[in-house]
Structure 1
């Protein structure tokens, strides 16, 4: 599997979201570097799990829709 890549803008937004979370939930300020390291960790260790679940969900959805196509068959 290829590594996840983000645009700079998206990565910057996620870093700000991590910083906001820490401030709101833990009353701690963390810098851009620390938040960036956390984001890198999440992307490397956690994101694949969510990605794979999304793939399984999409597969199930498409499979159900393909089965629905058979209902459109014409009977002789």
Structure 2
């Protein structure tokens, strides 16, 4: 799997979220560079877990939609003497 990369705006937003969390929840401040390093750590070490969860959720949604379409197609069948 290729590394998870964020563009500059996404990185700025994530860093701000980390800084807010440290300030509000931990009553501590964290600089932008340490916050970005923490973001990169989580992306590298745990990003695959979140990515895989997203894939599983998408797969479940696609399966449900396919089942719905199959049901709709089945409801279009016309009665015949063979059935």
TM-score by length of 2: 0.83
- 1:28 deviates by 0.9
Aligned residue number for residue 75 of structure 1 = 77
- Give the 4+ runs in structure 1 shifted more than 6 A: none
Aligned residue number for residue 50 of structure 1 = 50
- 1:30 deviates by 1.0
How many corresponding residue pairs?
76
The higher radius of gyration belongs to 2
1:14-55 C-alpha deviation (Å, 9 max, x unpaired): 111111111111111111111111000111111211110110
Structure 1: 5+ residue runs without aligned partners?
none
Q: Secondary structure at the match of 1:72?
A: helix
Structure 2: 5+ residue runs without aligned partners?
79-83
TM-score by length of 1: 0.90
Aligned residue number for residue 17 of structure 1 = 17
Query: What is the distance in 2 between the residues matched to 1:36 and 1:66?
Result: 41
